[in-house]
Structures are given as C-alpha cells and as structure tokens.
Amino acid sequence: MNAPIAPTHTLPCDVLITAAVVVTQNDARAVLRDAALAITGGVITAIGPRAELAARYTPVETIALPEAMLLPGLVNTHTHAAMTLFRGLCDDAPLSVWLSEHIWPAEAKLTPEAVRLGTQLACAEMLASGTTCFLDAYLFVDAVADAAQAAGLRAVLCQGVFDIENAGFKTADAALASAGALADRLAGEALLRPAIFPHAVYTCRRATLERCAAFAKERGTLLSTHAAETARENDDCLAANGQRVIPYLHSLGMLGPQTLLAHGVALDAADLTLLAATGTAVSHCPKSNMKLASGIAPVHALRTAGVTVGLGTDGAASNNALNLFSEMETAALLQKVASNDPTALKAGAALDMATRDGAQALGWPELGRLEVGAPADLCALDLTRPQLHPCFDPISDAVYAANGGEVVLTMVAGHVLFRDGAFLTMDYAALRRNFAQAASHLTAR
C-alpha cells in the first residue's frame, strides 16, 4: 500500500520568475537550467528547479521567460551619467582639446534640470542593457538623485569635489557642504547611497583630498576618485607632491576598504602591493581607457594580487555607451592582447567584475548575485536571438556574444523597470524631447 501523500501547503510570494537558464553568480558560480526564483519584498526567497518552485509557491505575479537567460543585474562602478548630454560632441581628439575646447565650455552651462534629464536618459540606456546599479560622480547631485529615484535604479551617488570653480560650486567647501546634505537626504533610502568623489589629485588640493577622506570616514560612505589614469598623472604628481599617485593618496589616508579608484591604469608593482594591502578597490573602464589612449590597466595583475576590480563605463562622452556587455567583452579581449595570453581574464572573470566584484567594490556585496537573501536585481536575455545559439556555455555567450540588445527585462528590488523595449518608470517619448532640447542648448555656440 502506498504511503499517504502529505498535504501540500504552498507559500505566498510576490513574484515567481521562471527562465530557461539562470546564471546565479553565487559562490559556486552555479548555472541552472529550467529554473525559477521566488521573490518577496524585493528579495530572493528561493531559487531552484522550476517545477519544484512552481509547486511550492503561490505567487501574486508569475513572469514566465521560457526562452530567456537570467543574470544578476550588472553593476557599473564608474560613470558620469549626465554626460549623455555630450555624447559624440567631440571624439578622436587629445584629452586636453576634448576637455578645454568642448566639454568644459558645455559643462559651464549645466543646470540642475539638464543634469536630471541627462541622468534620466542614462538610466534608460543602462536599464535597456541590463545594468541595475551604478556609481555616479558629477555635479548637481540632487538632480542625479531625483532622476535615479524616479527611474527606480539602485545607485551610489557621489558629490563631485573640485578646487576649480564649476557650474555646481565655486569652492570645495560648498561641495563638501552639499555632500553632507546629500548624506542627510539619502539616510534611510533603500536604493540610493551617498558617497564623495574628489575629482583627482590634479584638480583637488592636498587639504581638500584630506577633508574628503575624513568625510567618508565620519559619514561611513564610499570614497572614490580618478587615480593613475595616465602615466603623465604620475609624473605630474611626482613633480608636485614628491610621490606617485597611489603612495600620495595613501599618505593622505585615502586608501582602504571604503575606497574605489577609477581607472588604475598607470600602476607599478609597489602600487599594486599598496592597493592590495589596504583593501582598496579599482574600477576598470576599458573602453574609456582605449578611446582616450590612456593605456591598459593591469587587471590580471590586480586580481592576482587580490585587489577587487569592478567594471565601469566612464561617461558617455568618452566611451560612448553605458553598456556593460560591451565593457565585459572589451575587458577580456584587452587583457588577452596585452599579455599575449588567451587565458588571461576569462569570460567568468569578466562577468564577476560586472556583477559580484563590482558590487563588492561599491561596498554593497549582497548585489551582483542571484541567491536566497540577495536583492532581486536581475536582467533577462532573449535566447531566441541568433547570436545566442546554441548556448553551450551561457557565461561565454553573455560575455562574448551578447551585445546588450538582447535584454528583454530588467528588475531592481523585485520591480520590473524595463520590459520588451518599454521603460515602465518613465515617459520615454517626453524624455527624448526634453533631453534633445537640453543637449542642443548646452552645446550651442
């Protein structure tokens, strides 16, 4: 006689999302086929075989994606989102010409409203290519916060600090005061975190850099800055301060586990040792480094030394896209050609950088992975596209074959923000009109 079947009690959940493939990016880097995630309160409560979860859960909403691959939402660790306003304004020029003749004159006309529109367009671009979290460093940070909040993305929002007068502030004092106000405004926000971003050693005085480091320690925020982007930056720092950039930052108390350095291209062995010993993270921006001919960051050596390396797009004026799929592929290919070694920076390492390592670099380590207890931040790629056949290795396909245009769904904290080409948190047609007006006003001669 058969044993009696135990009565089944299903569990409630907000969303049950099912997919052909789930790339978890958990510690074991498990890739599941015909799988599902249960989500409640914006957090993943279960992950496993589709049939099992379908039997166990009664969801309020089911999202069935039988021909899609789920990935953790991608994490952009360095951008200046509102620079979408200046995309294509000047390309293929030396940095000094690009900055002084084109970008700075346009930036001098920036307004909070223009920054809000530029950031909102950047949010649309990131959502459409699977990015769910970004670190932004720019001016008018309240306008950036308004745009990110309205779009529903997760973000680390940095107040940019300079000792050069700009459209946002006349002095570094005023920028630091704004950083404090931002931290107060974002207290208790689940998706937005405040941070501080002294622009670079060549635009901030020693005392300003020290005050930014003190601010980050006092307020418990991330400290980020552009560092060692070019060999010239080291030469100039040596001449001005008697030290290369990395030891100089260390002498000011700026390195540590709450610090994220953008670029890290011109690094020597002693710099690598110092970054590893202090637990400082690096944001690698391969396309920006290539376009500005800054050089090739020693990503393989950094990772081997134990430095956490995330990926960043930098701003759209020096890239020119905010697309981490493109960044993953570029990062992997660049390390191979630089080292003449096809095993350098494998696909899995590039995906780690765009997901869990980037999350770690932002001090938000629960992001960038799909596992129980993690926030439900994810994207889905359409596996019916020709370039994703035959799908022997989903991670290889995500890094080397996908271009980001395959993204059919992007979710942050359990909320679908982008689905089948539609932006669910913004009036995209109105945004395009207003953005175009703002961009033409800023760049009119």
Q: How many residues does the chain have?
A: 445
For the bound state, the minimum distance from the C-beta of residue 296 to Zn ion, rounded and expressed in Å, comes to 17
Residue number, 70 or 292, with CB nearest to Zn ion: 292
For the bound state, the minimum distance from the C-beta of residue 227 to Zn ion, rounded and expressed in Å, comes to 10
User: Which of 314, 329, 352, 377 forms a contact with Zn ion (CB under 5 A)?
Assistant: 314
* Phi and psi at residue 248, to the nearest 5°: -65, -50
Residue number, 77 or 234, with CB nearest to Zn ion: 77
The verdict on whether residue 199 carries a ligand-binding annotation is: yes
Candidates 378, 389, 390; CA nearest to 419 is: 378
Contacting range for Zn ion; rule: CB under 5 A; set: 102-110, 314-322, 334-342, 384-392: 314-322
Residue number, 45 or 208, with CB nearest to Zn ion: 208
Which tokens hold the place of 51? 């049939």
The verdict on whether residue 327 carries a ligand-binding annotation is: no
Residue number, 314 or 327, with CB nearest to Zn ion: 314
- Give 227: exposed, middle or buried? Use CB within 10 Å, 0-12, 13-18, 19+: buried
Residue that is written with structure tokens 């769904």 in the block: 409
For the bound state, the minimum distance from the C-beta of residue 263 to Zn ion, rounded and expressed in Å, comes to 7
The verdict on whether residue 300 carries a ligand-binding annotation is: no
- Which residues in the 128-187 window bind Zn ion by CB under 5 A? none
The verdict on whether residue 389 carries a ligand-binding annotation is: no
Residue number, 315 or 414, with CB nearest to Zn ion: 315
Residue 326: how many CB atoms within 10 A of its CB? Answer: 18
For the bound state, the minimum distance from the C-beta of residue 141 to Zn ion, rounded and expressed in Å, comes to 15
Q: What is the CA radius of gyration of the chain?
A: 22
For the bound state, the minimum distance from the C-beta of residue 123 to Zn ion, rounded and expressed in Å, comes to 18
User: Which residues are bridge partners to 192 per DSSP?
Assistant: 155
The verdict on whether residue 107 carries a ligand-binding annotation is: yes
For the bound state, the minimum distance from the C-beta of residue 86 to Zn ion, rounded and expressed in Å, comes to 13
Contacting range for Zn ion; rule: CB under 5 A; set: 177-185, 310-318, 351-359, 403-411: 310-318
Residue number, 43 or 321, with CB nearest to Zn ion: 321
Residue number, 22 or 175, with CB nearest to Zn ion: 175
Which residue's C-beta sits nearest to Zn ion?
Answer: 314
Count of residues interacting with Zn ion (CB under 5 A): 1
Instruction: Say whether residue 271 binds Zn ion (CB under 5 A).
Output: no
Phi/psi class of residue 236: alpha, beta or left (left: φ > 0; alpha: ψ in -120 to 50)?
A: alpha
Distance CA 120, CA 213 (A): 29
Residue number, 53 or 201, with CB nearest to Zn ion: 201
For the bound state, the minimum distance from the C-beta of residue 212 to Zn ion, rounded and expressed in Å, comes to 16
Residue number, 315 or 394, with CB nearest to Zn ion: 315
The verdict on whether residue 78 carries a ligand-binding annotation is: yes
Residue 46: how many CB atoms within 10 A of its CB? Answer: 17
The verdict on whether residue 9 carries a ligand-binding annotation is: no
For the bound state, the minimum distance from the C-beta of residue 94 to Zn ion, rounded and expressed in Å, comes to 17
For the bound state, the minimum distance from the C-beta of residue 443 to Zn ion, rounded and expressed in Å, comes to 20
Chain positions contacting Zn ion, by CB under 5 A: 314
The binding site consists of 78, 80, 107, 199, 226, 229, 314
The binding site for substrate consists of 107, 199, 229, 314
The binding site for Zn(2+) consists of 78, 80, 226, 314
